[in-house]
Chain A
Amino acid sequence: MKKIINQTDDIIEEMLRGLSASYPGLVHRIEDSRVIAKNENKKQVALVSGGGSGHEPSHAGFVGDGMLSAAVAGDVFTSPTPDQIQIAMQEADQGEGVLLIVKNYTGDNLNFEMAQEMAEMDDIQSKIVVVDDDIAVEDSEFTAGKRGVAGTVLVHKILGNAARSGASLDELKQLGDDVVKKIKTIGLALHAATVPEVGKPGFELAEDEIEYGVGIHGEAGYRREKLQPSKDLAKELVSKILSDYDKQPQKMGVLVNGMGGTPLMEQFIFMNDVLNLLKEQNIEVTFHKVGNYMTSLDMEGVSLTLIDLDDETIKEALESEVITISW
């Protein structure tokens, strides 16, 4: 394992110090905590999100005007703890309540729910929007629902815009639940991530193998096969997502997300293939985004997120100006 780190125990602390020191004009760190908050707090419903570390720029990279009010970092690939989430809620709340945006993983759900109970004691009102955009493992009757992955970033953006425009906590919860249904993601890996504390990749893939449907912590996916050209990979992912919509949208947004170890060159090639496929389906793409948004440490791979944009207001929300480190 080769990593630019010091002690594995200090990774999160040092990352948060480096991050907050690099963008003092935008965000600050709540002392002795793992919370990154925006400097200017306007009177609006606060949006708080977070999750394990290792997904950078998620989530701190999306703190700022028009997106998140605060983000909480957990240990690597491990949900933040309730006391830390509570600190973020206390900092972010402007008396209008707090909307928590949570990726659908058991640990995240449990810790955010506990934080919610703790914040109730501070008289902070809150609601949770659970993002479960990953369709890779949906059909198994044994799953605890679908996972929450890269589509979460789009939820941050859309709800951030609505919150800034003055939407109430109830309205944001409703909008969030509606939007999540429009977003579908599926990923693939060429090489698993190496958690620094563990020191070896989460799973082994042969030199010429890829795995479809992996999660953002390197959880296994639904199929393993020989590496194909980009356009064949795109075909698998696009058709899998499109067939998951009850009614095929006319207009869509595309997010090609790098998992951390994939060069932008490959991400653009993959985007080109995705756009060609969507064109063949007569789907108009009205929003594009390419880059590393919800990474998985050094995992090599990409995920594809499609969002139904038949509703113009959602497209406008995605295009609104924001001031954050990474949007």
Chain B
Amino acid sequence: MQLTAKDVQTWFATFTDKIRENKEYLSDLDTPIGDGDHGNNMARGVNAYEESFEQKQPETISDIFQVFSMAMISKVGGASGPLYGSALMNMVKETKGLETIDSYEQLGNVVEQGLAGIKKRGKTEFEDKTMVDVWEPVAQTLKEGSLNKEQIAQAKEHTKDLIAKKGRASYLGERSKGHIDPGAASSALLFDALVEVVA
């Protein structure tokens, strides 16, 4: 496999479409365990990314990540803004000077750096019922040389029966069980979009 700057651009454009299509779904997931606005917040972020991309026309992988990162940080707010923003900021650093990403392993490393950003900013671990629960298995699977939508869906579904330890859902304790984490769901869309680009 190989990922060019153009592919990364397509990846985020596909993600933008998916967020728009799933805006209500994401907010509905957020209603029982959060405050029901994850879809709206993410939509604000991808809209800002699209606008900013048009203006700046970034050409390298790293610069595209940079534009995406700033859009998430400055427009999304809540917890998702700084978490996605921190992830992408790390991915900017990891891809500095890269023309292309040339292997699953390399892509896995990039995602793993993003994951490290989320964990550090959010002080979260695997199975806290957050987006980490999707990012971590995705990074792992990529490093092992593949990624498909079933694996992503499985990681997302796995958050359903966990008890939330971070974020607003954590105030519900046991009652957070039975609901998919909205951040894990939006992250699943991000990696679904990646699978479509890589395939």
Q: Which residues of B contact A197 (CB under 8 A)?
A: 37, 40
Q: Which of B82, B83, B86, B166 is most buried by chain A, counting CB atoms within 10 A of its CB?
A: B82
Nearest-Cβ distance from residue A253 to partner chain B, whole angstroms: 26
Contact status B36-A202, CB under 8 Å? yes
What interface size band does chain B fall in? 35 or more
How far, in whole Å, are A220 and B79 apart by their CA atoms in the complex? Answer: 19
How far, in whole Å, are A199 and B170 apart by their CA atoms in the complex? Answer: 25
Nearest-Cβ distance from residue A13 to partner chain B, whole angstroms: 13
**Quick check: is B41 within 8 A (CB to CB) of the other chain?**
yes
Residue of B35, B40, B85, B173 near A142 (CB, 8 A) is B173
Contact status B37-A144, CB under 8 Å? no
Contact status A107-B78, CB under 8 Å? yes
Contact status B35-A110, CB under 8 Å? no
Q: Which residues of A contact B27 (CB under 8 A)?
A: 198
**Quick check: is A185 within 8 A (CB to CB) of the other chain?**
no
Instruction: Mark contacts of A71-97 with chain B using CB atoms, 8 A cut-off: 1 yes-contact digit, 0 otherwise.
Output: 000111111111110000000000000
Contact status A147-B171, CB under 8 Å? yes
Q: Which residues of A contact B81 (CB under 8 A)?
A: 79, 81, 107, 110-111
**Quick check: is B76 within 8 A (CB to CB) of the other chain?**
yes
Contact status A142-B164, CB under 8 Å? yes
Contact status A198-B122, CB under 8 Å? no
Contact status B171-A110, CB under 8 Å? no
Contact status A202-B82, CB under 8 Å? no
Q: Which residue of B lies closest to A214 (CB)?
A: B171
Residue of B31, B44, B85, B173 near A143 (CB, 8 A) is B173
Q: Which residues of A contact B176 (CB under 8 A)?
A: 142
**Quick check: is A137 within 8 A (CB to CB) of the other chain?**
yes
How far, in whole Å, are A197 and B174 apart by their CA atoms in the complex? Answer: 28
Residue of B41, B85, B173 near A78 (CB, 8 A) is B41
How far, in whole Å, are A37 and B36 apart by their CA atoms in the complex? Answer: 30
**Quick check: is B115 within 8 A (CB to CB) of the other chain?**
no
Contact status B168-A83, CB under 8 Å? no
**Quick check: is B165 within 8 A (CB to CB) of the other chain?**
yes
Contact residues, B27-79 vs A (CB, 8 A): 27, 31-32, 34-37, 40-41, 44, 73-79
Residue of B36, B75, B168 near A81 (CB, 8 A) is B75
Q: Which residue of B lies closest to A77 (CB)?
A: B35
Contact residues, A270-296 vs B (CB, 8 A): none
**Quick check: is A114 within 8 A (CB to CB) of the other chain?**
yes
How far, in whole Å, are A143 and B176 apart by their CA atoms in the complex? Answer: 11
Contact A198 to B36, CB < 8 A, known contacts A105-B168, A110-B82? yes
Contact A106 to B168, CB < 8 A, known contacts A80-B77, A198-B37? yes
Q: Which residue of A lies closest to B27 (CB)?
A: A198
Nearest-Cβ distance from residue A148 to partner chain B, whole angstroms: 12
Contact status B77-A111, CB under 8 Å? yes
Contact status B35-A202, CB under 8 Å? yes
Residue of B34, B74, B83, B175 near A110 (CB, 8 A) is B83
**Quick check: is A195 within 8 A (CB to CB) of the other chain?**
yes
Contact status A114-B36, CB under 8 Å? no
**Extra pairs beyond A78-B78, A140-B170 (16, CB < 8 Å):** A75-B40, A81-B81, A82-B73, A82-B74, A107-B79, A111-B81, A113-B82, A114-B82, A140-B171, A142-B165, A142-B174, A143-B173, A198-B37, A215-B171, A219-B168, A220-B171
Seen from chain A, the residues whose Cβ lies within 8 Å of a Cβ on chain B are 52, 74-84, 105-107, 110-111, 113-114, 137, 140-144, 147, 195, 197-198, 202-203, 215, 217-220
21 CB < 8 A contacts A-B: A74-B77, A75-B40, A79-B78, A81-B73, A82-B73, A83-B74, A106-B79, A107-B77, A107-B80, A110-B121, A113-B82, A113-B121, A114-B86, A142-B170, A143-B170, A144-B170, A197-B40, A202-B31, A215-B168, A215-B171, A219-B35
